[in-house]
């Protein structure tokens, strides 16, 4: 069972080397960096580790382009500032080999020492367990045929992970592995831990249960790199 890792990027030179270096410790058969037009050193860095695919800007489109170029049986979508601990390939293969497997994610570990980060991690665990709604920074993986059957990520510029998982959970439940994925604390550090967390939950509620289109919500979310 081959796993294709797909990473959408846009000017991620600051964090991409660390992510790719950690990721390669497990010697994955394929890493695809789907770039949306970076103007820094992102592409040059990625070419040392991965196949680079040029895609229209927008994480959903970039991930779909990366998936189209992938050859693996299982697709793992990662953010550029997130990396699963060594042993992740064995964990993904084991989960994907189950007959009732639909999709999965990792346990989030935010790279920061504040106690609030531990609370956020716990909230992320409960969100997956109760609602089957992991965020993209938890590392979403699923079989290629399931991804195709669901039509890939919706062609929207914001909250594509939530909308895709909402579509998936109509079929079944998402499995969270007891395997850590390290997540950069840069967004929380820039905008404030409580503010960022409450905003994430508010946007999720409005989009998933309130029916508010992500285009209307995007203005409330600042890009951080």
pLDDT in tens, 200-217: 778 777 777 777 776 676
Confidence of residue 223 (pLDDT cuts 50, 70, 90): low
User: What is the mean predicted confidence (pLDDT) over 156-181?
Assistant: 89
Residue 218 within a domain: no
* Per-residue burial over 156-173, b = 16 or more CB atoms within 10 Å of its CB, e = otherwise: bebbbbbbbbbebbeeee
End-to-end CA distance of the chain: 34
Residue 163 within a domain: yes
User: What is the mean predicted confidence (pLDDT) over 94-101?
Assistant: 93
For residue 19, what is the domain's CATH number?
Answer: 3.90.550.10
Residue 13 within a domain: yes
User: What is the mean predicted confidence (pLDDT) over 132-140?
Assistant: 93
Residue 213 within a domain: no
Higher-pLDDT residue of 49, 199: 49
The answer to whether the pTM exceeds 0.85 is: yes
- Residue 124's domain comprises 3-186
Residue 199 within a domain: no
- Tens of pLDDT, residues 18-38: 999 999 999 999 999 999 999
Q: What integer best gives the mean pLDDT of the chain?
A: 91
For 135, counting Cβ atoms within 10 Å of its Cβ (0-12 exposed, 13-18 middle, 19+ buried), the class is buried
Residue 129 has pLDDT above 70, yes or no: yes
Residue 194 has phi, psi (to 5 degrees) of -65, -45
Residue 130 within a domain: yes
Higher-pLDDT residue of 198, 109: 109
Residue 162 has phi, psi (to 5 degrees) of -65, -45
pLDDT confidence of residue 188: 87
Residue 59 within a domain: yes
Number of domains within the chain: 1
Confirm if 109 and 182 have CB atoms less than 8 A apart: yes
Higher-pLDDT residue of 183, 193: 183
DSSP helix/strand/coil, 200: helix
Residue 41 has pLDDT above 80, yes or no: yes
Residue 155 within a domain: yes
pLDDT confidence of residue 212: 74
Residue 225 has pLDDT above 60, yes or no: no
């Amino acid at each position: 069972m081959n796993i294709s890792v797909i990473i959408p990027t846009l000017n991620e030179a600051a964090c991409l080397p660390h992510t790719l270096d950690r990721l390669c410790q497990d010697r994955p058969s394929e890493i695809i960096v789907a770039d949306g037009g970076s103007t820094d050193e992102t592409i040059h860095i990625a070419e040392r580790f991965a196949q680079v695919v040029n895609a229209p800007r927008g994480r959903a489109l970039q991930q779909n382009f990366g998936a189209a170029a992938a050859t693996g049986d299982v697709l793992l979508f990662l953010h550029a500032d997130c990396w699963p601990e060594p042993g992740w390939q064995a964990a993904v293969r084991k989960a994907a080999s189950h007959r009732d497997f639909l999709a999965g994610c990792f346990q989030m570990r935010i790279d920061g020492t504040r106690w609030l980060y531990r609370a956020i991690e716990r909230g992320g665990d409960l969100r997956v367990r109760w609602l089957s709604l992991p965020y993209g920074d938890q590392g979403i993986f699923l079989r290629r045929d399931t991804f195709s059957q669901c039509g890939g990520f919706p062609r929207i510029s914001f909250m594509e992970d939530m909308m895709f998982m909402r579509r998936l959970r109509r079929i079944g439940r998402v499995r969270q592995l007891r395997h850590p994925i390290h997540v950069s604390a840069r967004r929380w550090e820039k905008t404030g831990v409580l503010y960022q967390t409450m905003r994430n939950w508010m946007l999720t509620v409005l989009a998933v249960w309130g029916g508010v289109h992500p285009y209307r919500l995007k203005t409330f979310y600042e890009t951080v790199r």
